[in-house]
Chains A and B, each alone.
Chain A
């Protein structure tokens, strides 16, 4: 019988974290931004059918980077959680905070249980309020922690770089076209600082729009509407400014 090697708990956790982080970093990044009328989700996704963003409930949206089968599982779990809660109590009683908590507990338990492989996912749960001040964005890393984000957030591949790019340029009260332009700009910067073009058909865009008359505020932006918005920001960009082109600090 062979004696197992001793691995310190610190080392074991560090290995698991490293494993999860690497898995997440393999996926493409996505960003979630607040704009004047709600929250916009933007990501690069060559697939039309396998979504990174989806609706959880009336005012709650979900975004995920990492391994598809794992976040898809969590997404469906979230939809079931929200629908069950809304059915037992009321539609108003389903909140992003509650959902984020459940996700954090789930990810945390899986991460620290030695019998299970840590999930290689990073989630964003966002809820649009009736006023911009009521918007909530939670980022949920692989280990079960929750980060309450404001303004903008990026997850996936080179999330850190994109986040700092967004932090410098995002401001409150941007229009949808402006926010979309900023998001695409952020996503098209490679790790080495060069820019590449992301064509509209490779973009997945969705919004939680507080001005939507329906109870369900989640809406995908596709096809003509998307290209119109992208053109609108090109026109606006030509008119307005250069100053947004300062070199980003690394």
Chain B
């Protein structure tokens, strides 16, 4: 006799099935309609806000991940103060470029996936494991990506086994590659990468690494109309996060405004920023 699990108010069978520690697997089993990848795609092109530039750089004690605050829709600025860098768990963070709505949903699900695993298993996933989960999630979004609703994240975290900060970048098909030193994604990434290429050194301090990413975002905003620079008038500054062996930390408003101000002030004298040696 199969008990009718819905009418009695007891937990449905899917909740009590042992096995998977993945929240996404559970959703696929119990309520597949909630998974982003399972939605039926409507015909036609929809215009939605897009997030732009994310940059990351490692330094000996960890990794920094930062993002500008602009979201654009065509040639319009859709939002001036969007947040695109989120903690994924205590030792990792994810920054997203691409369709803002879908990206935020993906991050929410990704955070939950990591937390769920941690609660069920009583242990955290390895950094590689986390990076692979994210890869799977991006792949399931491929249908949307082909309609112009791509989500391309940058994932950074502290690897407790190897005791260093690591950066993973992705493409729309979920392809994952580890980046050494620095990385950027989004519309301004070309300029940001060029900037970091000239400024990056392997022995940066945490303070210098945060300055580096703000410089890179400034350069991206300088040449890419979809990337927002520091907005001194409205007090909107880039989001800068640092992940070390002590965990995730987002720079406070005061710290990031100080950082952005000092970079901006120097640019008043040297609009193109610091010069690297010619030879």
Residue of A nearest to B13 (CB): A77
Q: Which of A14-64 contact B (CB under 8 A)?
A: 49, 51, 54-56
Secondary structure class of chain B's binding surface, majority of residues: helix
Tell whether, in the assembled complex, residue B18 and residue A73 are in contact, meaning their CB atoms are under 8 Å apart. Answer: yes
User: What residues of chain B lie closer than 8 Å to A101, measured between beta carbons?
Assistant: 9
A83 touches B8 (CB 8 A): no
Contacts A74-B16, A87-B112 known; A79 to B120 CB distance under 8 Å? Answer: yes
Q: Does A12 reach chain B (CB closer than 8 Å)?
A: no
Tell me, in angstroms, the Cα distance from A54 to B30 when the chains sit together: 23
Query: Judging by beta carbons under 8 Å apart, are B15 and A87 in contact?
Result: no
Q: How far is B34's CA from A109's CA once the two chains are assembled, in angstroms?
A: 28
Contact of B15 among A80, A110, A116 (CB under 8 A): A80
A83 near B11 (CB under 8 angstroms)? no
Any chain B CB within 8 A of the CB of A81?
yes
Q: Contacting A73 at CB < 8 Å: which of B9, B16, B27, B115?
A: B16
Whole-angstrom distance between the alpha carbons of A20 and B23 in the complex? 31
Q: Which of A56, A74, A83, A86 has the most CB of B within 10 A?
A: A83
What are the interface flags for A108-142 relative to B under an 8 Å C-beta threshold, 1 for contact and 0 otherwise? Answer: 11100101100000000000000000000000000
Q: A109–B8 contact, CB under 8 A?
A: yes
Residues in chain B near residue A116, CB distance under 8 A: 3
- Is B31 an interface residue, CB under 8 A from the partner? yes
Task: Report yes or no: A77 in contact with B15, Cβ–Cβ below 8 A.
Answer: yes
Interface flag for B200 (CB, 8 Å): no
Complex interface bits, B20-34 against A, C-beta within 8 A gives 1, otherwise 0: 000100110011001
List 9 interface pairs A-B (beta carbons < 8 Å), by A numbering: A74-B11, A77-B11, A80-B14, A80-B30, A83-B23, A87-B112, A106-B16, A108-B10, A216-B115
Given A76-B18, A79-B119, 7 extra CB contacts under 8 A: A76-B120, A80-B23, A83-B112, A84-B30, A87-B23, A87-B34, A87-B108
